[in-house]
Structure 1
Amino acid sequence: MRILVLYSHPVETSFNASLHEVIVRTLKNAGHDVDDCDLYAEGFEPALTRQERLDYHDTDINQANVASYVERLEAADALVLCYPVWNFGFPAMLKGFLDRVFLPGVSFKMRDGNVIPSLHNIKKMVAVTHYGGSRIRAFLVGDPPRKNVKRMLRAVIKPFAPVEYHALYDMNNATDAQRAAFLKKVEQAIARF
């Protein structure tokens, strides 16, 4: 299976970097074709420009500045997101990727004013993340990151495709043992890919 791993963290010594390493190694060991897209290392520019917004609905030209990323997304059979939760959302780098690459004509098509999801090449999606705050705190604010993956992104991939969400909550107070246990849980989940 060809798997696009979207990784979004600026610090190579972070816990998120450890998660990323486990994901990529485990997928490769299982024989998958891994396209490891480290958004920071690749220098991805997350800001949608004025011209890109003006061209947003023009499917003849809207992909011009991100064509290589669109090709990688459309070539994938599955998608793995690895990122931290910051301020109950995606990091700006990952959010910018979604804004600039999940375009009309890519992740959806417009027909008579209706949105038609079109990333049907993505047959499975997994998100691996961690929150600084506790699960109850996330619950009290509606856990937007979980909903963004389980609802918003799920809506544009193949209908009924499995979507997994693995999160370590309360990272600010996590012990070494808790982080190690989460790494193991992620490794086991990815090995079942």
Structure 2
Amino acid sequence: MRILVLYAHPVETSFNAALHTMIVERLKAKGHEVDDCDLYAEDFDPRLTRAERMAYHDVPDNIEPVRSYVERLRKAEGLVLCFPVWNYGYPAILKGFFDRVFLPGVSFRLIEGKVKPTLDNIRKVVAVTSYGGSRLRAFLVGDPPRKLIHRLLRASVKRGASVSYLANYSMNLSTPQSRDRFMAKVAHKMDTF
């Protein structure tokens, strides 16, 4: 399976960096073709420009500024996201990726004012993330990243696609043992992708 791994963390010594490395290694070891998209290493610009917003609905011209990323997304059969949750949301670089790449004509079409998903090529989605705070704190604020993956992203990919959300909460209180347990959980998910 062709899998696009979207990774969003600026620190190469972080827990998320270790997760990212393990994800890519495990997927490759299982024979998957991995397109490893490290948004920071690729210096992805998350800012939607005025010109891009003005041309947002001009399909297919709207993809020109991000054509290479659109092509990578369209080639993928699976999608793995690896990111930290900051301020109960995505890192800005990942949010910007969704704003600039998940465009009309790419992730959806507007037909008589109604949104129709178009990423039928993606049959499986796994999000791997970490939170500084507890699951309860995330729940109390609505856990926006979890909802965005399970509701919005699920609605953009192939109908019936498998969507999983693996979260390591309470990183501020984590131990080597709790991190190892989460790494093992993620490794198992990648091994069975």
Give the TM bin, normalised by the shorter chain: over 0.9
Which structure 2 segments of 5+ residues have no match? none
Residue in 2 that maps onto 1:63: 63
Match of 2:50 in 1: 50
Q: Which amino acid aligns with 2:141?
A: V
After superposition, residues 117-128 of structure 1 pair within 5 angstroms as 117-128=117-128
Give the drift of 1:61.
1.1
Please give the per-residue CA displacement for 1:17-73, whole angstroms capped at 9, x wherever unaligned: 000011000000000000000000001000000000000000131001000000000
Q: How does 1:167-182 map to 2 (within 5 A)?
A: 167-182=167-182
Question: What percentage of residue pairs aligned between the two structures are identical?
Answer: 63
Question: Quick one: distance in 2 between partners of 1:170 and 1:29?
Answer: 30
Q: Which amino acid aligns with 2:139?
A: F
RMSD: 0.5
Unpaired runs of at least 5, structure 1: none
- Asked if 1:145 is matched to 2:145, the reply is yes
Aligned equivalent of 2:136? 136
| Segments of 4+ moved more than 6 angstroms | none
CA distance in structure 2 between the partners assigned to 1:189 and 1:32 by the alignment = 14
Aligned equivalent of 1:166:
166
Deviation track 1:67-110 (CA, whole Å, cap 9, x = no partner) reads 00000000000000000000001100000000000000000001
SS state at 1:63 partner: helix
Counterparts of 1:28 and 1:61, CA distance in 2? 34
- Report the 3-state secondary structure (helix = DSSP H, G, I; strand = E; otherwise coil) of the residue aligned with 2:109: strand
For residue 129 of structure 1, report the CA deviation from its aligned partner.
0.1
Instruction: Spell out the pairing of 1:1-193 with structure 2 (5 A cutoff).
Output: 1-193=1-193
Q: Report the TM-score, using the length of structure 2 for normalisation.
A: 0.99
SS at match of 2:103: coil
Code of the residue aligned with 1:101 in structure 2: it is V
Amino acid at match of 2:177: A
SS in 2 for 1:128: strand
How many residue pairs get aligned? The number is 193
Q: Distance in 1 between matches of 2:130 and 2:103?
A: 27
The C-alpha deviation readout for 1:103-136, integer Å capped at 9, x for no partner, is 0000000111111011010000000000001001
Counterparts of 1:8 and 1:27, CA distance in 2:
18
